[in-house]
Amino acid sequence: MNIIEAKNPKYIAADKKIIQLEVKFEEIQDMGFLPFGATEDDVEAHGRELYRRALSGEFGEIEEFVRDLETERANKLSELSTAFEDASEMAHLTSSLGFEIDANETANRDIEGLTLVMSDTDTTLFCDYNNQFHEVTRAQLETMRREIVANSQRLYQIKWQYRSLIEAATTVDELDAITIRFDKTEGETDEHVQTV
């Protein structure tokens, strides 16, 4: 395509690999100026030409990429949502019964199913997080279920704390300073969220 005119060059990302321009092409000039993203290694010759000419300053100074606070906030909230889903799916905990158990929704549903069909005097084999079997009673299953629900509520509380931090951020730098994590190291409490 033949370039008639181009204007308003700007980088569309921090890596400066794409320059967005408004371009009028000879073949479709009746459409006026159209947005076009040009790259150094563009598959189209006119894309490579636009990139080279923009870098030389022919179309004016290239506007720097500026990270928008609301876009970055939306990105951080999306990151939070993904991290929460991952943490919920991979959740496990050390039960008060002395062994590690899965603590996700599947485990909760499986334990609920067992408690519905067991009497108070029944026992069943239960496979823990490490694939070891334990003989447990209905009361012990109910204990594990309460622990799973408590852990789920803990994850939600962490999520809401992060969401509050993200919504309260007034700069992109403040958003960048928020490192989302749902895990705890040995002896750590969930207070790490409040100190982000």
Predicted pLDDT at 77: 98
Predicted pLDDT at 101: 97
Those residues whose C-beta lies under 8 Å from the C-beta of residue 31, and which sit 6 or more positions away, are none
Residue 118 to residues 11, 18, 99, 138, 182: CA-CA distances in angstroms?
64, 63, 21, 6, 34
Measured from the Cβ of residue 151, the count of other Cβ atoms closer than 10 Å reads 19
Average pLDDT over residues 11-24: 94
- pTM, 2 dp: 0.69
Q: Is 145 a residue whose pLDDT tops 70?
A: yes
**Pick from 181, 93, 78: nearest CA to 144:** 93
Q: Is 192 a residue whose pLDDT tops 50?
A: no
Structural domain boundaries of the chain?
Answer: 3-55, 69-193
Q: What tens digit of pLDDT does each residue of 69-115 get? A: 999 999 999 999 999 999 999 999 999 999 999 999 999 999 999 99
Predicted pLDDT at 117: 96
Residue % of the chain over a pLDDT of 70: 93
Task: In the chain, count H helices and then E strands.
Answer: 5, 7
